[in-house]
Amino acid sequence: MGKNFRGSSASEHAIDGSDARLGIACARWNDAITSRLLRGATERAAELGVGADDLDVAWVPGAFELPLAAQAMAQTGRYDAVVALGCVIRGDTAHFEYVAGPASTGIMDAQLSTGVPIILGVLTTENRRQALVRSVVDGDVVGDNKGAEAVDTALEMVALLRAVNAG
């Protein structure tokens, strides 16, 4: 009988990041939101045991630049996973369509070409309020933090790939 490498939710088991090295590529565009995503990601990484020396952050101008930066980080071989954080808010122009889709596709292509999990942590929202609700930090009342969730996903993928590669 073969092995079952079924993924599990964070609530089913403890995620351990104590032996993982993470890279985070974070967009400066909409930095009022992305800085909150980054805070959620770094706080969650620390909670899960990722050491301060095992987490690097690279800032890029915007979400459109995330795929290249994340791919470059993954190609170094220094990271078990990379998290790409950004925020694209729909506006009155076609900017949203030209940025959000290509950024997502680029991140997927980068992870497939490198074999390193690159987690999509790019918010695509209709307005600033939706972005704030998805990037909650201490003191906020309602919502969650997608940066923290992206770290959970990254560490779960690290564990899964290690298990698959171990046979």
Positions marked catalytic: 95
Distance CA 60, CA 57 (A): 10
Helix (H, G, I), strand (E, B) or coil at 88: strand
List alpha helices for 25-145, DSSP H. 31-47, 66-75, 95-114, 128-133
Angle at 150 between CA 116 and CA 17, to 5 degrees: 70
Q: String of b and e for 107-142 (b: at least 16 CB within 10 Å)?
A: beebbeebebbbbbbbbbbeeeebbbbbbbbeeeee
Could you give phi then psi for residue 118, rounded to 5 degrees? -120, 110
- Region of 61 on the Ramachandran plot (φ > 0 left; ψ -120 to 50 alpha; else beta): alpha
